[in-house]
Amino acid sequence: MTDSLIIESAVTTVPSSCTTPEPLRSVFVGTVSGVDANFVLYSVESERFGTVADLLRDDVLTVRYPIDDVKYLEVGERFLVGAVAAPSGIRGDIPVLESKVRVPPDMFGGDAVAAVQRVSCPDYEDPVRTLLANGDPIDTGLLRPLLADRTGLLRAVVFSIGGGLGLLFLLAATRVLVSGAIRGMRK
């Protein structure tokens, strides 16, 4: 029999006023087979935690997302999905899970801005997220659409520079014409 070592300082006590993350229903790796409004249909390749066998319909798993998060998930791409059971639980007769792509940002320092002292709650990484298959977060930056369409970005830069130079040429030509007309009227 071996004695176990308990380090008292390593134990985290969570105050009752703090919220803890919602327990996951499933973590799986899947390929997007379809997108319908804010529902994404996955072909499940492997399960990492929990089981989704009872949620599969025709070998397809339905996951609900916030409407703005669906645009980051494309058909044919593989993702690592951490999901919870949806509160409503169904989409017609199809059971669904819920996940999200983006993490809500912290709001300007929270209670520190209002100088409110509260109980110190531990920070948890939100497990209800959809990540790339390798575990990296999905790029949801504002410049993502620009960088994805390199020809569109090049076209926008060229047209902007061309338009600026054209406007400059028109202003210079107008000045020459106006000053020539004024000189002509003086003679």
* Segment 37-60, tens digit of pLDDT: 889 999 999 999 988 888 888 889
pLDDT at residue number 30: 93
**172 and 86 belong to one structural domain:** no
User: Considering its fold, how many domains does the chain have in total?
Assistant: 2
Q: Is residue 6 part of a domain?
A: no
Whether residues 150 and 116 fall in one domain? no
CA dist 99 and 52 (Å) reads 14
155 and 92 inside one domain? no
Residue 52 maps to a domain:
yes
**Boundaries of domain holding 82:** 14-132
> Residue 23: what pLDDT?
82
For residues 152 and 66, membership in a common domain is answered with no
| Residue 33: pLDDT over 90 | yes
Domain-embedded: residue 71: yes
| Whether the Cβ atoms of residue 140 and residue 72 lie closer than 8 Å to each other | yes
**Rounded mean pLDDT of 10-31?**
79
Residue 8 in any domain: the answer is: no
